[in-house]
Structure 1
Amino acid sequence: MKLVMSSLSILIFFFSLKLFNDVQAFDVRQHLSTVTRYSAAKDVGDSNFVPSDIPKECAPIHLNLVARHGTRSPTKKRMRELDRLADHLAVLVREAEENHSSLQKIPAWIRQWKSPWKGKLKGGELISKGEDELYDIGIRVREKFPDLFYEDYHPDVYTIKATQVPRASASAVAFGMGLFSEKGSLGPGRHRAFAVTSESRASDIKLRFYDCCENYKDFRKNQEPAVDKLKEPVLDEITSSLARRYELNFTRQDIASLWFLCKQEASLLDITDQACGLFSPPEVALLEWTDDLEVFILKGYGKSLNYRMGVPLLEDVVQSMEEAVKAREEKPTPGSYEKARLRFAHAETVVPFSCLLGLFLERSEFQQIQREEPLQLPPKPPQNRNWRGSNVAPFAGNNMLVLYSCPVKSSNNYFVQVLHNEHSIPMPGCGGTDFCPFDVFKEKIVGPHLKHKYDTVCKVKTEPAQKPETSKLLLLFNWLFSLRNDDTRSDKVEL
């Protein structure tokens, strides 16, 4: 008789081997997909990639930043979900007691657990950990590129933009406080005031393009049930496993809510021995993969619409670099041209923008994208994958594009360096380097996307609208006219 192993059993076997060989213990805080905190994710990348050795003669002249907001609290909808979870856990414990089941297997915390956010009226705001993330990034950016940030602040030199969502604008403020710390005269920290501008949510096609794109909203609404179906086998398998382990009649919804709770506790509260403690490392790996699938399908490479609607942002980035090149050629006086364009938005912004750059792809996959061919879904654990939400768009996740001016040694005077979460990252569209000639960057990476216009990509295609029928007399006239000409028509008359 053949021995059939479930995917979870196989994963447990491979994890056992991996953990046996790993010196460092498994840290669930690095496996929370897009709920991963920046400190747990920023230094987890491709250790095999060797960054380019940028010549000393090359000087940075402009920086573009596209960043996600920092760690935030759960939204009101999610807080209500956790309240329902607390109620159902109480029911499960009571049922176990009534059935005289062994209560020793039930973790003690479950018996009295209440949501830490119970009774909170508002949600989704930037928390103090999120403020720290952006503040510290601002300081590090200034230290890494002192030639760009030595000048006195002016809003035309250092442009800061955010969406109208408070956690994004608060992130912009925290970043700016770090970037310009000790450069002003306000308070003991010698802070200075700076401007953060936003566009209306209804028209912000650079940072909230997904909110303005009707075709995308239709796609997402129609695709979400299919994504849920993809997750079901994993959730069902883990539901059965946990029900046996703790002798509680968990439902699939319970497991989904407990996984969400695990992510919130680990990321926001540094609690890893409650909800996260219910899951084994192999189960965490599978749950993380289901989240990564959702990000891939609904925000990433799963459909070209996901990132093509971000072309206005890509155009804005390239335009700012071209203006910097022009200013450089004209040898301007200090303070007369923009040195940095800094943007603060959401995962729905950062993920598509990363896709527009072709990040987290093998070179063959980048070629598939260029040919507009669909990509395979990220492989299931224990297989390795480039696409991990914890790396692509953790809280405060960011892409920086730094434009360098280099001495004339060849036909290329300007180069673009791409940093993801402050680390160099290869661009498959530029031969796998992180330091790409600006002309090549525009031709190979940017150019193919620019043939897709936002309005064409995003506007719902409808049949030509019929003009209103203005009067019965006009209808009668048209009908008589049609009889006179023996013209067979439908009952509807277009005017």
Structure 2
Amino acid sequence: MAIWYPNGLLLTILVSFLLRVASNDEGFDVRQHLSTATSYGAAKSVNLGVHGSAGIPNGCSAIHLNLVARHGTRSPTKKRIKELDQLAVRLDDLLREAKLEADKGKLSLQKIPAWLSGWQSPWKGRKKGGELVIKGEEELHDIGIRTREMFPELFSDEYHPDIYPIRATQVPRASASAVAFGIALFSGKGSLGPGMHRAFSVISESRASDIWLRFHDTCETYKEFRKSQEPAVEKLKEPILDEIAVALVKRFQLNFTRQDIATLWFLCKQEASLLDIIDQACGLFTASEVSLLEWTDDLEVFLLKGYGKSINYHMGVPLLDDVTQSMEQAILAKEEKHKPGTYEKARLRFAHAETVIPFTCLLGLFLEGSEFEKMQRDEPLPLPPKPPQDRNWKGSIIAPFSGNNMLVLYHCPSNDSSVTVSSGGYKSKYFVRVLHNESPVTMSGCGNTDFCPFELFKEKIVNPHLKHDFSSICSAKLESPKPQSFVRKLLNFFGNPFSLQSESNPSTLTDK
């Protein structure tokens, strides 16, 4: 028996069905899958790779905090703005070609999304870019509020730059992030304006000599390595981009190229992260295609900034050393019973993904199984597994906009046996806890706990890295393989991670 539906209801059912087909995965939110272009709110709502915590033992209190944070959500850079302007011209050309073919009766224009017609970049006409946007300001401001609420005992003192030193790189979006965070942290503690704000200082090193927060810019060995390997990493992405290009040509009847897919994916990330627009560029891709594109970005982050090569994180040793020294000074102040207001309580740093990612690697976070031991022996690690396999290494979690690591030093009174924890042969009253994006995360070097005796933290996590010296690391000459042979070696060592259904482009990973 036929079932009759009112026209309105039938239309609703049809639209709902089409939306489910287009998303290819009910509940999939593209905003959580934008690798390092993911906004902080979207990343924090997932908390992938961050493990549960047993909590802080009774009687223990925070005595010092180290923060290493990435700047907040920013606008596209000047170079990328130009690329999006060129995309508008390219889309016009594609639509013109499609209309010519439609006039010949060779295809239908009905499959082409309406938004493509006359599309212009939201940043058209902009001559400058890369600045912190309002959304980014709000991210850091909110983190500042929550940090003060989480650790009231640390931020109860009168502001002084020696008690709460704030450092940022010379790049404006980093110092602006520091200001947004500081406004929240010290609100109500001054006399400026209705919010009773307090003026505070933000110190920056010269770009040419900042080995603590811009080591990626001052390490010549790394710069050489990255420049030599960027073409190889782009080569690794090509099979996925080609596969998706073929799918989109079939789906929308437009002659998209590999480069078109790369630029549309960039546009998707900007629209979704900055503007919360997910039904235009992002709507061109299925959920599985987004996952693959996200994975290619994560591969790039892994190989050029993360565990893919030890130089990526060894150059961050001055930062790790600085963090450790600040904790030792806090312990000394506690042991010598320094008066409040005479010693440092928090060291706050604002930088970039190129800072946060290597520092995260130095801590040994987001590894699989026995990879921590391999990493400390400078052995190569396997590439992050391809979707739909799960992986710990996700740029959207490791270093989204405003992504951060907080290392909190706790004191647990030794006269109370219930809170003096024995671990790894140590009976300690000082412990380190790592919060990644404000949530506790386990440390492989500390027996997969998030509350680690300071001595064990130093022995297992810090000291193995301190045998590397920045000047010797960054003045060394690397034997860098040619880009194509580098790709071949990767594929031979790890096995081909792509295993595409189609091999229509067999030459994309062949040495030339």
Range of TM-score over shorter length: 0.7 to 0.9
Amino acid across the alignment from 2:81: M
Q: In structure 2, how many angstroms separate the alpha carbons of the residues matched to 1:112 and 1:65?
A: 45
CA distance in 2, matches of 1:191, 1:89: 49
Larger displacement relative to structure 2 (49-58 or 76-85): 49-58
Matched letter for residue 319 of structure 1: Q
Q: Deviations over 1:96-143 (max 9, x none)?
A: 111223111110110110001010011000000000000000000000
The amino acid that maps onto 1:443 is E
The SS at the match of 1:112 is coil
Distance 1:86 1:343, change over 3 A: same
Question: What residue number does 1:327 align with?
Answer: 333
Q: Is the 8 Å Cα contact of residues 314 and 465 (structure 2) preserved in structure 1?
A: yes
The residue aligned with 1:467 is none
The answer (yes or no) to whether the contact 1:309–1:454 under 8 Å persists in 2 is yes
Per the alignment, in what secondary structure is the counterpart of residue 157 of structure 2? coil
CA offset digits 1:247-298 (Å, max 9, x no partner) = 0011111100000000000000000000000000000000000000000000
Give the stretch that moved more between structures: 312-321 or 410-419: 410-419
Matched position secondary structure for 1:379: coil
Q: Which moved more, 1:100-109 or 1:260-269?
A: 100-109
The share of aligned pairs that are identical, in percent, is: 70
Give unpaired runs (5+ residues) of structure 2.
Answer: 1-19, 421-426, 479-512
- Tell me the residue number matched to 1:84: 86
1:46, distance to aligned residue in structure 2 (A): 4.3
Instruction: Please name the residue that 2:505 is paired with.
Output: none
Q: Tell me how far 1:34 sits from its aligned partner.
A: 0.2
Greater Rg by CA:
1
Structure 1 counterpart of 2:53:
51
Map 1:258-273 onto structure 2 (within 5 A): 258-273=264-279
The letter for the 1-side match of 2:273 is S
How far apart are residue 54 of structure 1 and its match?
A: 1.0
CA distance in 2, matches of 1:48, 1:333: 36
2:372 matched to 1:383? no
Are 1:73 and 2:75 counterparts?
A: yes
* CA shift digits 1:380-414 (9 cap, x unpaired): 00000000000000000000000001111453010
Residue 130 (structure 1) aligned with residue 130 (structure 2): no
Secondary structure in structure 2 of the residue aligned to 1:228: helix
Query: In terms of mean alpha carbon deviation, does 97-106 or 72-81 score higher?
Result: 97-106
- Note the C-alpha offset of 1:245: 0.4
5+ long unaligned stretches in structure 1:
1-15, 463-495
Which letter does structure 1 place at the counterpart of 2:438?
Answer: E
Alignment of 1:45-444 (within 5 A): 45-46=47-48, 49-100=51-102, 101-408=107-414, 409=417, 410=420, 411-444=427-460
1:356 and 1:449 in contact (8 A); partners too: yes
The answer to whether the 8 A contact 2:94-2:254 is kept is yes
Runs ≥4 in structure 1, deviation > 3 angstroms?
none
Separation in structure 2 between the aligned mates of residue 283 and residue 296 of structure 1, nearest angstrom: 20
Q: Which amino acid aligns with 2:207?
A: R
TM-score normalised by length of structure 2: 0.85
CA RMSD of aligned residues (A): 1.5
Note the C-alpha offset of 1:50: 2.3
Whether the 8 Å contact between 1:362 and 1:428 is mirrored in structure 2 is no
Change (3 A) 1:48 1:61: closer
Tell me how far apart the structure 1 counterparts of residues 338 and 116 of structure 2 sit (CA, whole Å): 65
**What is the Cα deviation at residue 56 of structure 1?**
2.1
The structural deviation recorded for 1:460 is 3.5
Question: Which whole-Å CA distance do the structure 2 matches of 1:253 and 1:196 have between them?
Answer: 41
SS in 1 for 2:231: helix
Alignment-derived partner of residue 481 in structure 1: none
| Paired amino acid for 2:266 | F
Indicate conservation of the 8 Å contact 1:363/1:429, yes or no. Answer: no
Partner amino acid, structure 1, of 2:124: K
Corresponding residue pairs, total: 444
**One-letter amino acid of the structure 2 residue matched with residue 93 of structure 1:** L
Question: Which string of whole-angstrom CA distances, capped at 9 and with x for unpartnered residues, describes residues 412-468 of structure 1?
Answer: 010000000000001000000010000000000001000000011110449xxxxxx
Q: How many Å separate the matches in 1 of 2:407 and 2:372? A: 19
Q: Does 1:449 pair with 2:465?
A: yes
Q: CA deviation at 1:45?
A: 2.2
The answer as to whether partners of 2:50 and 2:440 remain within 8 angstroms in 1 is no
Moved more, 246-255 or 47-56: 47-56
Equivalent residue letter for 2:54: S
Aligned to 1:483: none
Does the 8 Å CA contact 2:244/2:289 hold for their aligned counterparts?
Answer: yes
8 Å CA contact retained: 1:186, 1:192: yes
Partner of 2:493: none
The alpha-carbon deviation at position 43 of structure 1 amounts to 3.2
TM-score of the aligned structures, taking structure 1 as reference length: 0.88
Q: In the superposition, relative to structure 1, how do residues 193 and 388 fare at CA in structure 2: closer, same or farther (>3 Å)?
A: same
Contact 2:50/2:439, CA 8 A, preserved across alignment: no
Deviations 1:124-178 (A, max 9, x none): 0000000000000000000000000011111000010000000000000000001
Aligned-pair distance for 1:47?
7.4
Structure 1 letter corresponding to 2:465: H
Residue type of the alignment partner of 2:472? T
> Which shifted more, 272-281 or 185-194?
185-194
C-alpha distance in structure 1 between counterparts of 2:116 and 2:67, whole Å: 43
**Quick check: 1:207–1:345 contact (8 Å CA) kept in 2?**
yes
